[in-house]
Amino acid sequence: MDLLRFATAGSVDDGKSTLIGRLLYDSKSIFTDQLEAVEATSRSRGDEYTNLALLTDGLRAEREQGITIDVAYRYFATPRRKFIIADTPGHIQYTRNMVTGASTANLALILVDARKGMVEQSRRHAFLCSLLRVPHMVLCVNKMDLVDYAQEVFESIADEFSCFAMKLEAPDLAVIPISALHGDNIVTRSANMPWYDGPSLLHHLEHVHIASDRNLVDVRFPVQFVIRPQSTSVTDYRGYAGQVASGVMKPGDEVMVLPSGFTTRIAGIDTADGPVDEAYPPMSVTVRLEDELDVSRGDLICRPHNQPTVAQDVEAMLCWMDESRPMTVGGKYAIKHTTRAARAVVRQLHYRLDVNSLHRDESADSLRLNEIGRVRLRTTVPLLADEYRRNRTTGGFIVIDETTNRTVGAGMIVEAA
């Protein structure tokens, strides 16, 4: 059984909560006591039907206001796969949350209402998923029951969305007509839409090919921690602990340590269960090197002929996440990139992007909460960076306010020099 992480975007009106509720219910992941609690709350609030949104809206404020504020994580499993859902609210004021949910997702599930077709929000969701390089996208055209399961309605929405997605370079798109309320095409194929010959949503989620989404070409191993046992039973052990970001590492491989640039060979790759013949993402391992080099947290192990850029000048798309203070040109921040900490100054804001129209405003001089722009940063120490489109681990970074310590921005490297 493998693991698929997917993000859902949409508002209550799209039927997102109903859809998630149905996936959980049909996979027996909702428990009787949870359902009873939700039914009781729905009744006491005078809801006409059991409001499955109450299953996911866990915070007091969300229940009181009847809105989803934050990313909620949900879990279900079928015999084929374990699924982690990052359930994100869809309104523009929650772009921050959607970006967060999409950052770790293998797949994004976007809902549209068949009666309304594509709306501004659907375009924004698709854009954010492409910006975060979510490798797979599924468009669910929901509420097909309310348009008499009409093929023309579905196809016109599917065509419009596909055209838009093509412009975004969305790598893999599936479009599925569903009714979350009635269960059409959720777990099994619906008899109400004989014209649709694709898989049900759950079948697609269970079978979408994710193994090759990993980058197995570029060896990137950010060092997290140096393991040196202080004991009499294990002597002279020096291992570099970390999680393989990309590529396949084997004992005997010639490797280079950055930023120093020294080369050596891998002496062995250890885990607590014993040494392994190879390590690949997302394995957490401990690497031993043949030569004694000065290697510490924040360094990166790669192959001599396939290195990331060692750079202090970074071009990036930046999503701002702080409500109290906007990002300004000249502003100084702390950043965390892989296991490396640095400080950075914003040298330039090339443009601010309208996430609905994709219009670029080149006169902008700041980014406020939920705004996205293209920036140029200068860092105090070199980053060991790849383009985000090639490597989500060595291409992404977070921006931290040095006074409040809050995470205020998420960056995706476009170019490093």
Partner 1 sequence: MSQPTYRVSHLDALEAESIFVMREVVAEFERPVLLFSGGKDSIVMLRLAEKAFAPARIPFPVMHVDTGHNFPEVLEFRDRRVAELGVQLVVASVPEALEAGLVRESPDGMRNRIQTPVLLDAVEKYRFDALFGGARRDEEKARAKERVFSFRDEFGQWDPKNQRPELWALYNGRVHAAESIRVFPLSNWTELDIWHYVARERVALPEIYFAHDREVVDRDGMLYAVNEHLPRRAGEESFVGRVRYRTVGDASCTAAVRSDADTIENVIAEVAATRITERGATRGDDKFSEAAMEDRKREGYF
Residues 20-79 that bind partner 1 (CB under 8 A): 28, 31-34, 37, 41, 55-61, 63, 69-75, 77
C-alpha to C-alpha distance for 379 and 393, rounded to whole angstroms: 18
224 lines the binding site for partner 1 (CB under 8 A) = yes
Which member of 146, 225, 265, 368 binds partner 1 (CB under 8 A)?
225
DSSP-based three-state secondary structure for 195: coil
Find the binding residues for partner 1 in span 356-415 (CB under 8 A).
392-393, 396-398, 400, 405-407, 410
CB-neighbour burial class of residue 212 (10 A; exposed 0-12, middle 13-18, buried 19+):
exposed
Residue 236 binds partner 1, judged by CB under 8 A: no
Member of 97, 121, 122, 200 binding partner 1 (CB under 8 A): 97
Contacts 24+ apart (CB under 8 A), 24-29: 24/55, 24/74, 24/76, 26/183, 26/186, 26/187, 26/202, 27/76, 27/77, 27/78, 27/202, 29/74, 29/75, 29/76, 29/77
Q: How far is the CB of 10 from partner 1 (least distance, A)?
A: 18
Q: Which is nearer to partner 1, 96 or 143 (CB)?
A: 96
Given 248, 310, 329, 345, the residue binding partner 1 (CB under 8 A): 248
Tokens (6 digits) for 212: 């090759």
Is 91 a binder of partner 1 (CB under 8 A)? no
Q: Is 218 helix (H, G, I), strand (E, B) or coil?
A: coil
Quick one: which of 115, 282, 306, 358 contacts partner 1 (CB under 8 A)?
282
228 binds partner 1 (CB under 8 A): yes
Cα-based distances in Å from 47 to 57, 63, 199? 15, 13, 33
Q: For partner 1, which residue of 6, 52, 53, 96 counts as binding (CB under 8 A)?
A: 96
Q: How far is the CB of 105 from partner 1 (least distance, A)?
A: 11
> Is residue 217 involved in binding partner 1 (CB under 8 A)?
no
Angstrom distance (rounded) from CA 273 to CA 38: 44
The answer for residues whose C-beta is within 8 angstroms of residue 178's C-beta and 6 or more apart is: 19, 140, 141, 142, 144, 184, 185, 186, 190, 201
240 interacts with partner 1 by CB under 8 A: no
Decide if residue 336 touches partner 1 (CB under 8 A): yes
Question: Which parts of 101-130 interact with partner 1 (CB under 8 A)?
Answer: 103-104
The residue (of 102 and 175) whose beta carbon lies closer to partner 1 is 102
Q: Which residues 314-333 are close enough to bind partner 1 by CB under 8 A?
A: 321
User: Bridge-partner residues for 72, per DSSP?
Assistant: 87
